[in-house]
Structure 1
Amino acid sequence: MRVRDLESALQPLRTFETPKIRLEQYGTPPVIAAPALLAAHHEFDDFEGHSVIDLGTGPGILGITCAILGADHVIGIDADPDALAIAADNVEQAEVEMDLIAAFVTDPAPADGDRANESDVWSRLRADTVIMNPPFGTKTAPGADMMFLRRALSIATRAVYSMHKTSTREYVQRQAQRAGWNAHVVGELKYNLPASYRFHKRKSVNIEVDFIRFTPNASDSEAASDSD
């Protein structure tokens, strides 16, 4: 599949119509999703035939892309029911299979209420590959990007792909290393962020973003294999 064919398949899909600032909702445009994931698909083969979780799926663009690229089973997870409704429409539009789950990524589940069983959800979830475009955590939820990363590393067995501001590269790599994972920048992106919220003064702004592939340290992987 060529990049332009994949991008064309994603172009008709919906994005956020009224993004919520408290969740730092930004859609991942096809012009970014298509080349980044297709390049990773060809170089590392972490999608086709593998189980994939799209963490903080939003409109579902990344998960749908993985499904198009041949993922065996895709799950999209998001805390926002409105985002999941858009994702459901997009899954139908793209004619792919993708399960959608409502769950909060950035904080532990309370002991009661609608989220009482959320800790059980996370304890059961595992996937070969996790893909995500997490909140940058610079507006309303400081550290949200690292909360997403910790969650991703806890459920992935093969690889994690994530987008982070280039300015945080060294910090992200240190955090991954402390968790026993390697972090390699596999793409440098220009994220053209449109004016989505009232506080935005310009029509759009370009943000330098790293597309990072995280993999378990070899020693950890070997130890896990020996124990099987």
Structure 2
Amino acid sequence: MAGLSRRQLARTLESVDDFSDPAVELEQYLTPPELAAHVLHLASLHGDLERRVIDLGTGTGMFAIGASIAGADRVVGIDVDLDALALARENARAVDRGGDRVRDVDWILGDVTRHPFATAGATAISNPPFGAQRGNRHADRTFLETASAIADVSYTVHNEGSQAFVESFAADKGGDVTHAFRAEFPIDRRFEFHTADRETLEAEVFRIEWDR
């Protein structure tokens, strides 16, 4: 991982700023630095950072920035929200100024479901909406659809209880879930419907190899 341990990468990613005015309909939450570092450490161990890395729904840029620091040569972050891309760019500059070299990341304004990428050959990483908001149900499925179309390998974060769905989806697309693990996803109070200052959700992370 470009000389960084998982713990060092997590510490570096702690400087990534959260959304100042998150969009509830997009379920914009900061991906926990420890979770991002864990995913990227696993990706590095499997050589998955040696191909183009695409951060689907990049948000704050957490995964894209982390992938670049971890040694990926070609990184793309795509998001439908222009403000999120501006934040991701500023986060990349801030991390770079802090001394951890962020190689050029291509930031693209676009809808993950209507992406501009050529099919196959990439590593896709995403923390898609969990589908908690009205109109977002099965939002994580659309991210998996795109991952299955453009990636040789993908890493996705899902709500607790998603394993059966993810494994079934992957099997239908000729993919194979090679790794699955639970992770804590702490979120601060950001929206009116939040009742606690901080809540920890249980999430599940999956690595899928897509058969070509």
Q: Distance in 1 between matches of 2:62 and 2:177?
A: 23
Which one-letter code corresponds to 1:31 in the other structure?
E
1:2-13 to structure 2, matched below 5 A, reads: 2-13=5-16
Residue ranges of structure 1 left out of the alignment (5+ in a row): 109-118, 222-228
Contact residue 178 and residue 208 of structure 2 kept, 8 A: yes
1:209 is aligned to: 203
The number of equivalent residue pairs is: 202
Cα distance in 2, alignment partners of residues 36 and 104 from structure 1: 23
Within-5 A mapping of 1:1-228: 1-42=4-45, 44-47=46-49, 49-95=50-96, 96=102, 97-106=104-113, 108=114, 121-122=116-117, 124=118, 127-140=121-134, 141-156=136-151, 158-217=152-211, 221=212
Quote the offset at 1:184 in angstroms.
3.2
Q: 1:111 matched to which residue of 2?
A: none
Let me know the Cα RMSD of the aligned residues: 1.7
Q: Report sequence identity in percent.
A: 34
Shift of 1:126: 5.2
Give, in whole Å, the separation in 2 of the partners of 1:45 and 1:210. Answer: 22
Cα distance, 1:174 vs structure 2? 0.5
Structure 1 Cα separation of the partners of residues 91 and 169 of structure 2: 34
Q: Is the 8 A contact 1:185 1:210 kept in 2?
A: no
Conserved in 2, the CA contact under 8 Å of 1:53 and 1:131? yes
Distance 1:19 1:8 in 2: 23
Cα distance, 1:127 vs structure 2: 4.5
* Contact persistence 2:119–2:149 (CA under 8 A): no
CA displacement 1:195-219 (0-9 Å, x = unmatched): 22111112222222111001024xx
CA distance, structure 2, for counterparts of residue 53 and residue 153 of structure 1: 12
Contact conserved, 2:123 with 2:153, CA < 8 A, in 1?
yes
Q: CA deviation at 1:81?
A: 0.4
Structure (1/2) with the larger helix percentage: 1
Larger gyration radius, structure 1 or structure 2: 1
Tell me which amino acid in the other structure corresponds to 1:209. Answer: A
CA deviations 1:142-199 (Å, max 9, x no partner) are 111101110111111x200001112121012101111111123343101112222111
What SS class does the counterpart of residue 192 from structure 1 fall into? strand
* Counterpart secondary structure, 1:94: helix
SS of 1:167's equivalent in the other structure is: coil
Q: Structure 2: which amino acid aligns with 1:94?
A: V
Any stretches of 5+ residues in structure 2 without a counterpart? 97-101
Q: What is the distance in 2 between the residues matched to 1:167 and 1:147?
A: 18
Q: Aligned pair in 2 of structure 1 residues 126, 40: CA closer, same or farther (>3 Å)?
A: closer
Q: Are residues 144 and 93 of structure 1, via their aligned partners in 2, closer, same or farther at CA, if it must alter by over 3 Å?
A: same
Distance 1:35 1:10 in 2: 12
